[in-house]
Amino acid sequence: MNWPTKLPLIAILRGITPDEAEQHVGALIDAGFDAIEIPLNSPEWRKSIPQMVKTFGSQALIGAGTVLKAEQVDELAGFNSQLVVTPNTDAQVIRRAVEKGMTVAAGCATASEAFTALNAGAQALKIFPASAFGPEYIKALKAVLPAEVPVFAVGGVTPDNLKTFLDAGCVGAGLGGDLYRAGQSLDVTVEKARAFVQAWQEATR
């Protein structure tokens, strides 16, 4: 069960607007990112996500985060969205997304939630909030999970601590506020994206 992108860092663009999306997503792809998530609590996501899938869908895995309902999955499938990231473990949402041929990174915190997500067909797990649990917790959880399941640390991951989560067994991370905050300039996005890509390269040499 392999993660389908070259760089296992998911860019989380919470709060991005349709007018900003193309520039920022383009800059992230130029920096080396190939998995982009626009959370459904962002303004006008019904415009942003289909636009980004149309513009960049051949270069990156593009989709939605904070997906809470099966109906939202149906809507995303209509946009040819390829990625579904959930904050929680909802078997119905996971199953629906898998049926639609999407890659699912399911949010979980405990072994019970992790196995519920895997049994529903999730291809990857997202440990959230990772910084609150810490690398040792993730390492312990990884010990009972199937070795081939990609685990992502999400929440509080920075270029400085990325390596500790990778060392704990994570394949990669989902990057929110430490990569993108609503309204930030394109220059800041470029700078932060490069810092994360560099941290990843150094940690995996």
List active site positions: 37, 126
Given the DSSP bridges, would you call strands 83-85 and 151-154 parallel, antiparallel or unpaired? Answer: unpaired
Angle (CA) 136-64-111 rounded to 5° is 30
CB 73 within 8 A of CB 100: yes
Concatenated DSSP letters of 31-55: HT--EEEEETTSTTHHHHHHHHHHH
| CA 196 to chain CA centroid, nearest Å | 14
